[in-house]
Each structure stands twice: as C-alpha cells, then as structure tokens.
Structure 1
Amino acid sequence: MTGLVTVTLVCLAIIIGLGLTREDRRQLQTSYAQLRNINLVAVDANKLSAQIAELFVAGDQDAEIREARDSLLSGLQRQRDLIREEHALAGEPDATWGGLDRVAQMEIKVQEIDQSRLLIQDHLQAGRRAEALQVFNTRIYHQLGQVLLELVEEATVRERAEVAEALASSSRLSERAVDLAIGLIVVVAVLGVANIVMMNRAILRPVSALYAGAEAVGRGDLTHVIDNPSPDELGNLSRRFNQMTGQIRDQRDSLLQAQSTLSQQVEERTRELRERSEALVASNDRLRSVDASRANFFADISHELRTPLTILRGQAEMAIRTPDADAATLQQVLSEIVRKTDQIGRLIDDLLFLARSESGSIMVNRTRVVLQDIVGDVLLDGQNMAMRPGVRIRPSQPSEPVEVRGDPDRLRQAVLIALDNAIRLAPADTTVSLELAQSQDHAHIRVRDQGPGFTGDELGSAFTRFYSARPSRPRSGRGLGLGLSIAKWIVDQHDGAIRIDSAPGRGAVVEITMPLARRAVA
C-alpha cells in the first residue's frame, strides 16, 4: 500500500511538471508571434514612408497612403492583443507593461505622420517642394526610423528574456525531477530496510538504477535510460521516469531551436529594415537629383528660347528703323527670322514629344519597313541642315533590302536626330558617314562624325533627359539634352538599342540596333 501511494505521488508530480512545460511552450509561442508581428509592423511603417515619398514623384497617392496607414494601425492593434495575451498567460492581466506604452506611442506617431503628410501635400500643391522635403526628412523619415528601431530593439530584448525564462523553467523542472527521484529513493530505501530479507534483490537494483538515472539527469544527461522491465511499482516508475526525461529533453531541444530561429529571424528582419532604410535614402537622393536637373533644365530652356526671340526682335526693329531698305536687305532679315523661328519650332516640337512620351499618348504603329527608304529620306532632310563649309554626308547601304517592323515616321525621327547632332558638331571639310548594315538577326544604323567627341561623363549622361553637354561643345536648338533621349525612347519602343562609341578628340559613332523582321515562309 505504501509503495502504491509513493508511485501515485510521483506520477502526480510528473504530470504537474509536464503541465508547466506546456505553459512554457505557450509563452514561447506568444513571444515568437509578438516578434513576427513587430517585424510586419516595421515593414508596414517602411511602406507608409515609401508611399509618402511617392508624393514627390507621382503626385496624389491618397488611397495607397490610407491603405498603408490602416495596415500599420491594424498591426499595432495586433501587437497590443498579443501583449495582453502574454500578460494573461503570466497571470498578470492588469499589469502595466512598457510594451503597451510603446504601442500607444507608435499609434500617436502614426497620427503625427498623417498630419505631416497633409502638410507635405499642402506644400507640394503650393509649389513649395523644398519645404515639403524638409518636413518629410525631419518629421517622417528620421523620427519614424528612430521610433521603429526602438520598438524592434525593445521587443527583441523582451522576447529573448522570455525565452531565457522558459529555458530556466525547464531547468528548474529538471531539478524538481532530480529532487523527486532522490526523495523517492529515500522512501523506497526506508521501506526496503523493513523488508530487507525478502525483497533485497527486488528493490535494491531498481533503486540503484533510479539513483543512477537521477544522477545522470542532475549532470544534464537527458539521454540516460533506466532499464527495468518489471511490472511492479518500481518498474512503472522507471518507465515514467524515462518518459519524463524524454519529454524534458524534447522540450529543451525545442526551446533551444526556437531561440536559434528567433535570433535568425531578428537578424534577418533587422537586415531587411536596414536595406529598406538605405533604399529610402537613395530614393530621397534621386528626388533631389531630379529636382535639381529640372531646375537647371528650365533655366537652359529659358535661355534657349530668349536668345532667338531677342535676335528676332532685333532683326525686326532694324528693318523698321530702315524704311528705305532694299529688297536684298529685307530678304536677308526675313531669312534670318525664318531660320530662328524654325529653331524655336524644333525646340518646341522636342518638348512636346517629351511630354507626350512621358504621358504615354504617343502611339507607335508598326509595319514592315525597308530601312533603305528611311536612310534615303534622312539624306534628303540632311542636305537642308545647317553645316560648316566642306562638310559632306557619305551614305553606305547594302543592295538587299533590310526590313524591320516599326513606325517609319518615328524611325526617321530617331536617325535624323543622330545625323543632325553629327552635322552640327562636324568641323569644316570633314565627312559624316551614314551607314546601314545587317547581321544575322539585327539591322545596324551607324552615324560617324569627326567632331570633338564625348568625354566619359558625357557618355554616361548622353541619353539622360534634361542633360546639357559641356559649355565647350557647340550649342544648337537641340543642345538641351532632349534629342538623344528622344531617339533612345523611340529605339526602346522598337525593342532595339542605341549606344555611343567616342573619346575626346576622335569623333563619335552613334549606333542604332534593331531586330530584323521575320521573313514570310513560302
């Protein structure tokens, strides 16, 4: 009877111990859910910041910004629920924890960010771009990043502490098992003294095995197994002891694995957050660069338009002040006026084309085009271009038709831009070559000149819109960084490529490459 009572008490202690380990597992799962949710909050915060940054590029983004804001607030509410669930598991549902205070601070910060976003929109609508950038950098980018990093760091420290507490609880459970086994050994030993004669061999060996198992568990060896197949109480106790150590071992391994996974997740999320922050900084820099480029472009366009208009006005005033001017003088004045108006018209055409290409309103109608026809039309137009004395245009093309699928008007425009740049930069008594060639799958159009060439910096920015060449290069109505960018847009729409091969002092080669049209099978 005494042995049965002892075994019952031991089993009850084992069940209580296993219940504690299940409680530790639930707390660990809650901690992991909090960390995963706080990383999702970090992602939503970065998304909100990025959507606000899009205001500088794409304009009105109210729907996307509200969606990102609501997602962030939903994540913060989920974080509050997880913290309260954790408090309930810990038996402290009414306690005041720093985690809830931090979530409340973050919700206040989201409202402040929304107010700052409205202020940014007001600045942008009023044309105060610099003030808008200042509000974004000081009130959104820096403050949001600081609060977010503090939240992630606090959550990480707290959850790691909870994992450590769970491991410590498992260790305490092991110690209880050792104490339980030792106490059991003492009880069994006392009973064995009374029955030493009859039950010597039946008790001492199982007790020794239990003692050895308790010592092994005390040393941290949870792989130790007690071999006692007897059906009595000690045999059952040994088997329960083995089950208990196995469960403790599994719980410990699970906790260690969870701790390792938690550390990896924290490191990965922190790296992603850092990369997103760096991407946001790069986006900010690009916004500043585009803003500066547009400012320089408008200054250049004002100069390019004012100069020919000033000349037109001067020519007209000179004709008015000379009422008795002969026909030859008036003819010269009118010719100059026509030339300048043509220059202004070409500049306006380029600006209109640029605006339409950005809005997507330019249609590219593809048909089968023979490139020899395009080259012929460009040569006719090139004869009427202004050029220095002695500049010659030398064409070269194969006799067999070279066909592509494309818009003939747009292709003619792209080739004419390259030829126009070459002619305007070609020194006197030099040759500008216009070559058409064909490889296995592609057609190639090359325009060669013997002009001043391009520097390395100019090559890197030649196709950038609003880019102007160095002051030492001759300027023309197409010297605002529009012509080559328009040509590149046209070639891109035809699945082709355009590149420049040049070096200072040895001229330049502009090459346009496009896929050949597939020939019909007879």
Structure 2
Amino acid sequence: MYKRKLFFFGATTALILFIVLISTAASAHLIRENLQQSSIAQRLLLEHQQISSISYRLFKQLTDEVIFGDTANQAHVRNKQALIKQSMENIRQLEIEQRLALGKQFTQGSVEDTDELESLINNIIDEFQEVLKLNGSAPLSKQDRLRSLLEVTIDNEFRESINTAVARQSSVVAAINARIAAVNSSIVWFAFGLGCIALPLLTYGCYWLFNQLYHPLVVLKNATNAVAAGDYEQPISENLDQEFQELSSAINQLAKRLRQHEFEAEKSRKMLKYEVEQRTSELTRANQQLTTIDVRRKQFLADISHELRTPLTIIRGEAQVTLRLKSPDIDDYKETLTSILEQSVNLTRLVDDLLLLARAEMNQLQLAIIPEPIIPMLEAETSKWQKLYTDRDIRLIDQTGHASISISIDKLRIQQVLSILIDNAVKYSAAGQPVLLTVNQENSWCTIAIHDKGCGISATEIENVFERFVRFSKHNDGLGLGLPIAKAIVEAHDGYIHVDSTQGSGSTFSIRLPVFEGEQQ
C-alpha cells in the first residue's frame, strides 16, 4: 500500500520536474539563438565600420595621387582594395546567415544594399582613375570632376550608404535584444506561474507523505530504542502498512532472540568470571610461592657464601702459616689449632643459624610446643642476664596481675629469642642504663617487651632491622642473624614481633604470643 503512495507522489513530482526541464531547455535554446544573431549583428556593425575606415583611407590616397601626381603608393592602394574586397565578402556572408535565421522581412534590404555599396565603391575608384587620366589637360574640368567626386559621391552617397547599413544593423541588434528581453520576461512569468502551481502541490504532497510515513517510523523508533536500552518485553502490536508490518515482525523476533542470548551470555559471563577468578587466585598463589622460594634460595646461597668465606679463609690462612714455619714448636701448633677451633665453632654456629632460618622459611622448623608458665621463665632469664652484667639494672615488670598465665611455646627457642633481644638491649645501650622486661596479657595474646635506653634506631635502619646480615651503622660486631632468627622463631609460634624506636631515646622490641587455651578457659 505504501508503495502506491510513494509511486503517486513520485509521478507527480517527476511530471513537474519534466515540465520545468522542458521549459528550461526551450528557453535556453531561444536565448542561445538570439544571442547568436546578436553576435552576427555586432560583427556586421564592426565590418561596416571597418570598411568605412578602409574606404576613406583609400579615397584619401587616391585624392593625393590626383592632386600631387604621386604614383608611389599604388601598392598601398591595391592592398586597401583587397581589404575592402575581403570585408565585403565577410559582410555578404554574415548577411546571408542573418537572413536565413531571421527571414527576409526582418532583414529587408541588407543584401541588396551591400551590393549597391560594393558597386558604389567600385564606381568611386573608377572615377578616380578617370580623373587621373585627365592629368596635364583641362585642369578646370579635372578640378570640377574631383570636387564632384569628393563632395557629392563620397561625402553624400558613400557616407549615406554606410550610415544606412549601420543604422539597419543597429535596429537589428535592438530588435534582437528586445526579443531576448521578451523571452526572459516570458521565462520569469512562466517560472513564477509554474512555481505558484507546483509549490502548493509539492508542499501538500510532502505533508501528506510525511504524515503517512511519520507514524510507522515513530512506532519503529520507539521499539528499536527499547531494544537498544535492553527492554526486550515491548513488542510492536500495531497494524502498519504491509512493508512496515514485515519489519515490525522482524524487530519482535529480534527482541525475543536478544533476550534469550543476553540471558545465556550473562550466565556464561558469571561462570567464566568465577572460573577465571579461581584460576587466577590459584596461579597467583602458586607464583607467589615459587617467587618466595626462589628468592629465599638465592638469598640463602648469597648469605652462606658471604659468611662462610671469612672463617674458611682464616682457617686456611692459619694452616698455611703454620705449614710454612721451618721449625714450629708445640705452642705454635696449639695457637693454630686454637684459632682453627674458634673459627670452626663460629662456622658451626653460623651454619646452625642459617639452617634454622632456612627451615623456618620453608615451614620445616621443628618445635616442641608445650604449655609453659611465662612469669617463672622470664624471671629465670632476667636473673641469668643480671648475673652476667652485674653493673646493669635488668629486671622484670609483671603487668598481667597474676602469675599463673601460660603460653604454648618451645621453651628453648623462646629462651633463645629472649637472649638475642636482651643481649642487643645491653649491647646497644650505654653502661649503667637499665634494661626492662614487661609482660602483659590482652585477650588471647601475651606481650613480652624488652625496653632499653640506648641511642635508638634510625628510620632508615628500622625498616631492615629483621633482614639477615644487617648490622647497625655504629656496631659492626656480630653476623646480623640474631634478629632474623628471633623473628623466624616467633612467627613459627604463630606470633608477631615488632620494634618501636626513637633515635636518642632507646628502643622497645615486643613479642606477641598466643596464650595457652587451657589457661583461657
């Protein structure tokens, strides 16, 4: 149905356009013909003006010959006669074309006057020749004929003939211009009339076609917008023209399929996202474990290579020095063996510490964990270190409120941690400064803190204080394994160790260990 509406509107528009094109072609043809004739008339005017100019120059030269008897300019006379002849032929050809195009009535006398003009020019030239023949006899008669030729024939007849031809062509030009103006006026009025008729028709046709097309397009637009917004539950229920009805059915089917595909895609996305997250988490954990193991392996090899070099070098050096002695006595051997033994002990201690760290990092540190009362153990450690450093005030401050608190620990390993921390507190604080141990319980955690009044740890050093082979800038003794070992032992007990330090005010190392569950109950 909508096809017939479009066909009717298209046929009406095509008919109007066809009329406009035919009118435009006809007017263009008429204007072109008129312009062509106007061009011919203009050329004729120019030719008449040219022949007038050449003829007057020719007549002047002939007059000079008659008066002065000069025959030296005959070549110029012949040249001008040839030009006059050529111009006359051009005029005659243009006038014939003009007569054929405009008709004999419109160009009355043009061809005939040209013949008369040519005859008049030839007669004037012949008359000059006759006057020249009178040279030397009857001077008065010669003067009279020359005067008559100049005043009557040339000045009157020739000039009148030229003016008549020019006036005739000017009228032709004016008539052609009038025809062009009339054609233009007709075209303007025809275009105006055609516009007055066609414009309302086209406006009404466009308005009618727009109304016929607008409603189906609105329905289709709303449906497609709903589908684009994800609303697949809005089918097109209106009955449209046959062409749009097929499109509306296709949109309804598309919405239904998109709804199904989107449901399946969302389900697949969730499943894929879950699987990717699972696999990513597994791979991340595996990668982290591999990275950690590899870093620890490299660090362990670097550390052990670095620390084993010194005692082995000393052992080798002592042995080489003793062997180079010419007559070593028993004292030399004893001194050498004593040095070797000392370095072997240090080397054994270093190997034990490195093995402890390696096992702790691989979660293979063997611990004999049993419930242990914390206060008696701390009192024993305090008493032991007080005996070693009688000039220092090393004491325990119990902040728990009762002495029966127990923690699940490997006693020997925790004693090793306490020894490392107390030894550092004594080592890095000035003589006479106290070292205080405090114990406190908070919920299911027991906190043991070792306070000293030493120089403290700088902000740059505190970040690496628990790294292996790290020594404080002011103290280069030791291997730098004490604090890493303490950290490894505490973390193997599922505890935490950290340090608080202010440079110039001392440091506090705190150990947090889980309280024995039976004690909590």
- Where on the TM-score scale, by shorter chain, does this alignment land: which range? 0.3 to 0.5
Instruction: Tell me the TM-score normalized by structure 1.
Output: 0.43
Considering only CA atoms, is the larger Rg found in Structure 1 or Structure 2? Answer: 2
